[in-house]
């Protein structure tokens, strides 16, 4: 493929990955939209327990891509990992279907099936998630300026699935029966697997026509053979493994007994920190590779602040939509789960606008670097929570506010997400050494794991039924107090990242 041809549009493989990811996100977000409601209304969980459970589950969803990335890079390759990940996730959704089918007749067995179904979703997602994202970058030649735009288009696929799933799965669950919501999510996952298997060999190719995502021994590495041999010999040296095993054990003790986390939260935070440290101390890394990986870690740290606030959508904001939002339209009450379609719909509408903006600024050589874009995203997140905080100020426990406050918040959050998430995926793909691409994408998702677990902890501060909660000795007595927590910490994070962005750009060594 010539350079001129390469610049015309995008390769068809991008759209195969787009629709595969769309169906997977349909499955996941369809389940997520009804998860907290199912736990509180059907499984009879207390809202605070449900919030903690939600945080632990979504954290594990983002923790296991580290393992999936390792399996891909070492043994299976992207294609096999995606196939089996999709199959296991579909099984998980069907188990949840059976769980919801017997919740009224055998609650104890339903809870067992609930745990089994979520476990399957966690394992399957770990194989699927990091591997499809890294394939996008390999559709393009090194230095191709369309990569950021490609990730934005790919991100639209994520959100197209996320838009339809709460409407379909949420409606079936809330208006008919929860089991049909889970069944629809499982069918969606099967659709994605079938489409990927049918089209991958024809379209998922490099610019030179080679198949992307084959087993590691069949793919062409950028590094020389001696570097690969060195990686195999030194990456897992006994001394290094032993050192990080000790550090990992210490982290477990600190988070479990000093900080007071539960075992799942301890697993998430200890594994995230130890795995990140293990990778950055790889002796085969060059100085430039290590510098770029440090930038990934710095960006990932700030991503924790973003997603821990943003992911209130599946927990506290779902409860808020259900309990304190006027959802009546011409006498019809909109399902609370439908609000989770606002963000993906806004992404679909606004993603081309942002992609066009970045392209236009790029042509004028005025496009912000990736860290600066992410700082803008954090600022918009803070602004969104300030809007909803303004809407609830002075509103009593038994009063409901207009849905337009919630809608406005979600739209601001969407623009912030578009400045942060697809840009982050693109940045990780660009900065990662080829031999560690999927593994480092897994590390990127570790930040999401910690953020989602933290989101569940923060969601417990939700003052349900007017009962005050406490944060660092301060009363969180009203919804205004609750939302201002997110205004402050995301706003402060935005300022700090903005100040660090120039230094991070230098550490990227020419990759913006």
Do 345 and 320 share a domain, yes or no? Answer: yes
Same domain, 409 and 437: yes
| pLDDT of amino acid 58 | 85
Does residue 272 share a domain with residue 130? no
The pLDDT score that the predictor gives to residue 7 is: 55
- Which residue range forms the structural domain that includes residue 253? 236-281
> Are 55 and 453 in contact, with CB atoms under 8 Å apart?
yes
E strand or H helix that includes residue 115: helix 107-138
Q: Using CA atoms, how far apart are residues 343 and 329, in angstroms rounded to an integer? A: 20
d(CA 453, CA 11): 37
336 and 384: one domain? yes
CA-to-CA dists, residue 206 to 9, 136, 224, 313, angstroms:
15, 10, 19, 37
pLDDT tens-place values along the chain, 512 residues long: 444 344 567 888 898 998 999 999 899 989 988 998 899 989 989 888 888 888 889 888 888 887 887 888 788 888 999 999 999 999 999 999 999 999 999 999 999 999 999 999 999 998 988 778 778 878 888 777 777 678 777 877 778 888 889 889 999 998 899 999 999 999 999 999 999 999 998 999 888 888 888 877 544 444 444 444 544 544 457 888 889 999 999 999 999 999 999 999 999 899 989 989 998 988 888 999 999 999 999 999 999 999 999 888 777 888 888 888 898 888 888 888 888 888 888 888 888 888 788 778 877 778 788 889 999 999 999 999 999 999 888 777 678 888 899 999 999 999 999 888 878 877 888 888 877 877 787 788 788 889 888 888 888 888 876 677 777 777 877 888 889 999 998 999 999 999 999 999 899 877 66
Question: Are residues 357 and 288 located together in one domain of the fold?
Answer: yes
Q: Which residues contact 160 (CB under 8 A, 6 or more apart)?
A: 22, 25, 344, 348
Q: Is residue 449 part of a domain?
A: yes
Give the Cα separation of 452 and 52 in Å (integer). Answer: 10
290 in the same domain as 186 = yes
Residue 210 within a domain:
no
274, 288: one domain: no
Question: Looking at residue 222, what is its pLDDT?
Answer: 45
- Which CATH number covers residue 440? 1.20.1250.20
* CA quadruple 481, 482, 487, 489: dihedral sign: positive
- The span from the CA of 177 to the CA of 425, in Å, is 36
Q: Give the C-alpha separation, 74 to 69, whole Å.
A: 8
Is 223 inside any structural domain? no
For residues 183 and 241, membership in a common domain is answered with no
- Looking at the fold, whether 258 and 164 belong to one and the same domain comes out as no
Q: Is the same domain home to 428 and 493?
A: yes
Both tokens assigned to 87 = 């199959």
């Amino acid at each position: 493929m010539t350079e001129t041809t390469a610049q015309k549009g995008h390769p068809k493989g991008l759209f195969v990955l787009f629709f595969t990811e769309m169906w997977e996100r349909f499955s996941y977000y369809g389940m997520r939209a009804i998860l907290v409601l199912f736990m509180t209304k059907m499984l009879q969980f207390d809202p605070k327990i449900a919030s903690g459970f939600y945080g632990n589950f979504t954290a594990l969803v983002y923790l296991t891509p580290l393992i999936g990335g390792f399996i891909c890079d070492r043994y299976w390759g992207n294609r096999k990992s995606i196939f089996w990940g999709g199959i296991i996730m579909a099984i998980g959704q069907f188990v949840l279907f059976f769980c919801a089918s017997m919740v009224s007749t055998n609650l104890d067995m339903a809870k067992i099936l609930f745990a089994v179904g979520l476990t399957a979703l966690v394992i399957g997602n770990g194989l699927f998630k990091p591997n499809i994202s890294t394939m996008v970058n390999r559709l393009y030649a090194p230095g191709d300026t369309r990569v950021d735009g490609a990730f934005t288009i790919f991100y639209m696929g994520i959100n197209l699935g996320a838009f339809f799933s709460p409407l379909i799965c949420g409606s079936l669950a809330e208006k008919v029966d929860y089991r049909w919501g889970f069944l629809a999510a499982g069918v969606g996952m099967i659709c994605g697997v079938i489409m990927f298997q049918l089209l991958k060999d024809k379209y998922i190719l490099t610019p030179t026509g080679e198949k992307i995502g084959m087993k590691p021994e069949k793919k062409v590495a950028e590094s020389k053979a001696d570097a690969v041999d060195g990686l195999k010999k030194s990456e897992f040296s006994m001394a290094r493994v032993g050192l990080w095993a000790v550090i990992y054990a210490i982290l477990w003790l600190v988070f479990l007994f000093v900080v007071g986390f539960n075992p799942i939260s301890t697993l998430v935070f200890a594994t995230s920190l130890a795995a990140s440290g293990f990778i950055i101390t790889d002796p085969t890394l060059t100085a430039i590779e290590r510098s770029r990986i440090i930038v990934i870690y710095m960006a990932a740290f700030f991503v924790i602040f973003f997603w821990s606030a943003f992911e209130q959508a599946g927990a506290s904001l779902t409860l808020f939509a259900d309990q304190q939002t006027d959802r009546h339209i011409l006498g019809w009450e909109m399902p609370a789960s439908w609000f989770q379609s606002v963000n993906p719909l806004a992404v679909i509408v606004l993603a081309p606008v942002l992609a066009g903006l970045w392209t236009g600024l790029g042509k004028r050589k005025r496009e912000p670097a990736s860290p600066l874009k992410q700082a803008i995203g954090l600022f918009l997140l803070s602004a969104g929570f300030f809007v909803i905080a303004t809407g609830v100020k002075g509103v009593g426990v038994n009063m409901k506010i207009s849905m337009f406050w919630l809608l406005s918040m979600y739209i601001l959050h969407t623009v912030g997400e578009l400045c942060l998430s697809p840009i982050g995926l693109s940045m990780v793909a660009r900065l990662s050494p080829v031999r560690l691409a999927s593994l480092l994408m897994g590390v990127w998702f570790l930040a999401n794991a910690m953020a989602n677990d933290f989101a569940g902890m923060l969601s417990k501060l939700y003052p349900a039924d007017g009962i005050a909660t406490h944060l660092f000795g301060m009363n969180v007595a009203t919804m205004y107090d609750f939302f201002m927590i997110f205004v402050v910490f995301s706003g402060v994070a935005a300022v700090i990242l903005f100040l660090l962005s120039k230094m991070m750009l230098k550490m990227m060594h020419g990759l913006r």
